[in-house]
Every structure is written in C-alpha cells, then in structure tokens.
Amino acid sequence: MQPLAGFAWVETDSMRLRPVEESDLPAMIAIHGNPATHTHNPAGTPDAAACAASLNAWRAHWDAHGFGYWAAALHEDPHAVIGFGGVALKSIRGLPSLNLYFRFAPEMWGRGLATELAGAALKAAFASLPHDVVYGITRPENLGSIRTLTRAGMERVGEVQTDVGPPSVLFSIHRDALQIDS
C-alpha cells in the first residue's frame, strides 16, 4: 500500500519525517537499542534482534495501512537518522487505537524535536485518518515524555496495564482539541 498523502514525506521546522526503511536498521540499533533511551522502560533495552523485529513490524504496518512510525532527520543532514516516532495502530485496553510514540538519540534531546514530531503526527493523523482520538502511553516517572505529550495538547486520562511492570499512564487528545499552528 502507498503511504497516505498526509504521512508520506512530512517536513517540520527542523526535520524531515519519512516512512522507515530496511536501511534504517543501524540507526534503529543505535537509537532504539540504546539503554540511555530506555531508562524508564520496565521491559529494558531491546537487543539488536529485537530492534530488527520492531523495524520489520513498523515497515509491515506502513505496507498494510499506509501510515506508521517515521524516521526523523534534520534538514541540514537529511541522511542521518536522529530519531523515530509518529502514530501507529496499537491495542489499548483491548481496542485497536492510534498510539503516539517518539524516541530520539540522546544528543538530540532538549531541542524541541519531540514536540515538533508529536505535533506533525497528530496533524497528519487527524487530517488523514478517521480516528477521533490519539493516545500516548508512558511511565509516570518519564517526565520528558509526559511533558512532550502535554505540550502536544494531550491530557492524562488514566492508567493502562502494559506488558511488563506496574501500570503506565495514559494520555489522549480528541481531534476537536488539536491546536493547528498555521
């Protein structure tokens, strides 16, 4: 399936966001497989095989649905992947739902990049998909993630039991609540 119009190739102030590709595996292992990006993850850091399996699953999601998690690069260095994120389908409380996800290389933190990506993902989701709500799941101690979800306009709506560890916190935003910057 071809990527949906609003998801194919997205530009933000700082980044280009594109569908993940097989050639992103080294970046996936460097970023998604970096323990520094999983300090709050009760499941621990995925090894190289788990990173490859996730990348394959993310690519299959694009093929099946025409949208999914992006690979992010700065305009000034478009071939260097610095993070991953966007919206994809996920079972939340047993229902197929849209999940917002983001993970950047530690050297890229603190520059507003996750906020930019989250904003672009919500804009694309509500412009191109029928879903009225997007969710975000994170750990209560993950202040950076909570702050990013809140900056994107999401509100804390409860807790959700994930695969491992104590319940995580659940955030959501309805399409009517999204502030679209022109």
Strand-pair partners of 17: 10, 72
Q: Which stretch binds ligand COA (CB under 6 A): 22-30, 55-63, 103-111, 123-131?
A: 103-111
CB-based burial, 92-122: b 16+ in 10 Å, e otherwise: beeeebbbbbbbbbeebeeeebbbbbbbbbb
- Tell whether residue 102 is a contact of ligand COA (CB under 6 A): yes
The distance of closest approach from Cβ of residue 93 to ligand COA in the complex, given in angstroms and rounded to an integer, is 17
Q: Is 14 in the site for ligand COA (CB under 6 A)?
A: no
The interface region with ligand COA, picked from 3-11, 48-56, 101-109, 169-177 by CB under 6 A, is: 101-109
Applying CB under 6 A, the span of 7-15, 60-68, 91-99, 144-152 interacting with ligand COA comes to 144-152
H, E, C per residue of the chain: CCCCHHHCCEECCCEEEEECCHHHHHHHHHHCCCHHHCCCCCCCCCCHHHHHHHHHHHHHHHHHHCCCEEEEEECCCCCCEEEEEEEEEEEECCEEEEEEEEEECHHHCCCCHHHHHHHHHHHHHHHHCCCCEEEEEECCCCHHHHHHHHHCCCEEEEEECCCCCCCEEEEEEEHHHCCCCC
- Which region, judged by CB under 6 A, interacts with ligand COA, from 9-17, 44-52, 104-112, 157-165? 104-112
In this chain, which of 18, 37, 61, 125 binds ligand COA, going by CB under 6 A?
Answer: 37
User: Per rule CB under 6 A, is residue 97 in the interface with ligand COA?
Assistant: no
Q: Which of 99, 115, 128, 162 binds ligand COA (CB under 6 A)?
A: 115
Q: Which is nearer to ligand COA, 67 or 168 (CB)?
A: 168
CB of 108 to ligand COA, least distance (A): 6
> Given the rule CB under 6 A, which residues bind ligand COA?
37, 40, 102-104, 109-115, 138, 142-145, 147-148, 151
